[in-house]
């Protein structure tokens, strides 16, 4: 460890360089910057790959599934069961949205694991947008189903009467903090993991022959990153289900 | 913010904020450890509770994420 510290000073490899957004096709509309960036490209690529995967997998749609088809069906059933277990039958109406979210985030996360690619979900701009769309739609669903009674979510009736105002404040704060933690969890996990990979990559360059030790670490961290990529997509989807459950059934 | 003292305070503050992530680590370990302890006592019921496990981990992790956020804000936004 001491050797790493003393030698990597000579190499200036910025681990944050991989998150730099580059404008490939500048489009400036004056009031808004609509440039086609590498982030936009990889987001489209993720969507395209997911669509291609589902189309090719389900094009045959035989009774005895092929390997691709059983993969697609497995993912579909997995998300469907997750929605039904956590929101009940009423939540199945919103299953396409959660399935789309899950596959988009999974696609972006896994695409980010390809060397020299760009991790779309490592940018808070993307994850905050995803989380805010979940937050807004869940709140709208809650008010559509329960009307003004949805505000009862913040007024715990099973608590002692004296405690209720205090608990209501805590409930309101925790409700509005949801999109913050929801988005930053995904973004921070992806960003931190990829930055760690690049930091270890810097060690390899700095250590010369002894670089095999950090390479071994990189292999392990890469495996862990694949796990994190899948788990974070799962966590994002299941938290969406939890929030949806609150809106549909009010605790 | 300008000058070396200001930068120093920023970096020290960011480092201090990261201590909070240790708490998140304790919390996540607690959730996972208790899940494992319960799962080994009753393996039949463990399968259904994996979703609850991940929700618990996600909530425990959220507070660590806030300290990470404070560190990021101190480093890049102040």
Query: Which helix (H) or strand (E) segment is A36 a member of?
Result: strand A36-37
Contact A86 B51 (CB under 8 A): yes
Q: Which of A137, A80, A138, A130 shows the shortest CA–CA distance to A105?
A: A130
Pairs from A191-196 (Cβ < 8 Å, separation ≥ 24): A191/A19, A191/A119, A191/A122, A192/B68, A193/A221, A193/A224, A193/A225, A193/A228, A194/A18, A194/A19, A194/A112, A194/A119, A194/A122, A194/A225, A195/A15, A195/A16, A196/A15, A196/A221
Encoding tokens for residue A64? 């005895």
Q: What is the pLDDT of residues A8-64, one digit of tens each?
A: 444 456 777 788 888 888 888 878 888 888 899 999 999 999 999 999 988 877 778
Terminal-residue alpha carbon distance, chain A: 50
B58, B68, B70: best mutation site toward chain A, by most A Cβ within 10 Å? B58
Mean pLDDT of chain A: 87
Within-domain flag for A4: no
Domain that holds residue A66: 18-249
Give the span between the Cα atoms of B65 and B21, in whole angstroms: 7
CB atoms within 10 A of CB A9: 8
Nearest Cα residue in chain A from B54: A235
Burial class (CB in 10 A: 0-12, 13-18, 19+), A166: exposed
Q: For residue B65, which residues of chain A lie inside 8 Å, CB to CB? A: 181, 184-185, 188
Architecture of the B3-77 domain: Up-down Bundle (1.20)
Q: For residue A192, which residues of chain B lie inside 8 Å, CB to CB? A: 68
Q: Which residues of chain A have pLDDT under 70?
A: 1-13, 251
Q: What is the pLDDT of residues B12-30, one digit of tens each?
A: 999 999 899 899 999 999 9
Give the span between the Cα atoms of A109 and A112, in whole angstroms: 5
Within-domain flag for A1: no
Does the ipTM surpass 0.95?
no
Count of the separate structural domains present in chain A: 1
Contact B54 A181 (CB under 8 A): no
Encoding tokens for residue A122? 């490592």
Contact A242 B62 (CB under 8 A): no
Selecting from B51, B54, B65 the residue whose C-beta is nearest the C-beta of A188 gives B65
Residue with tokens 């596959």: A103
Can you give the length of chain A in residues? Answer: 251
Mean pLDDT of chain B: 86
Q: Which of A192, A197, A26, A219 shows the shortest CA–CA distance to A121?
A: A192
Give the span between the Cα atoms of A148 and A142, in whole angstroms: 9
Within-domain flag for A98: yes
Give the span between the Cα atoms of A121 and A112, in whole angstroms: 8
Query: Which helix (H) or strand (E) segment is B21 a member of?
Result: helix B19-41
Please report the pLDDT score of residue A4 as a whole number: 40
3-class DSSP assignment, residue A237 = helix
């Amino acid at each position: 460890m001491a050797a790493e510290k003393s030698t990597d000073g000579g190499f200036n490899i910025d681990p944050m360089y991989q998150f730099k957004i580059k404008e490939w096709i500048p489009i400036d509309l004056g009031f808004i910057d609509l440039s086609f960036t590498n982030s936009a490209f990889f987001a489209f690529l993720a969507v395209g790959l997911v669509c291609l995967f589902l189309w090719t997998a389900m094009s045959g749609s035989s009774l005895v599934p092929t390997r691709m088809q059983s993969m697609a069906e497995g993912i579909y059933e997995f998300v469907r069961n997750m929605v039904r277990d956590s929101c009940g039958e009423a939540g199945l109406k919103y299953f396409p949205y959660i399935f789309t979210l899950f596959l988009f985030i999974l696609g972006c996360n896994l695409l980010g694991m390809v060397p020299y690619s760009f991790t779309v979900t490592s940018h808070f701009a993307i994850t905050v947008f995803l989380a805010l769309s979940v937050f807004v739609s869940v709140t709208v669903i809650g008010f559509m189903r329960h009307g003004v009674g949805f505000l009862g979510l913040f007024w715990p009736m099973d608590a002692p009467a004296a405690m209720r105002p205090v608990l209501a404040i805590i409930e309101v704060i925790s409700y509005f903090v949801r999109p913050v933690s929801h988005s930053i969890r995904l973004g921070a996990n992806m960003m931190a993991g990829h930055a760690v990979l690049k930091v270890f990559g810097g060690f390899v360059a700095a250590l010369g022959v002894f670089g095999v030790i950090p390479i071994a670490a990189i292999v392990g961290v890469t495996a862990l990153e694949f796990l994190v990529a899948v788990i974070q997509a799962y966590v994002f989807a299941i938290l969406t289900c939890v929030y949806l459950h609150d809106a549909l059934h009010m605790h | 913010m300008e000058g070396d003292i200001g930068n120093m305070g920023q970096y020290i503050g960011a480092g201090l904020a990261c201590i909070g992530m240790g708490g998140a680590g304790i919390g996540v370990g607690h959730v996972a450890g208790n899940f494992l302890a319960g799962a080994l006592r009753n393996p039949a019921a463990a399968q259904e509770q994996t979703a609850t496990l991940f929700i618990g981990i996600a909530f425990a992790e959220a507070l660590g994420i806030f300290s990470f956020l404070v560190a990021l804000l101190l480093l890049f936004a102040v």
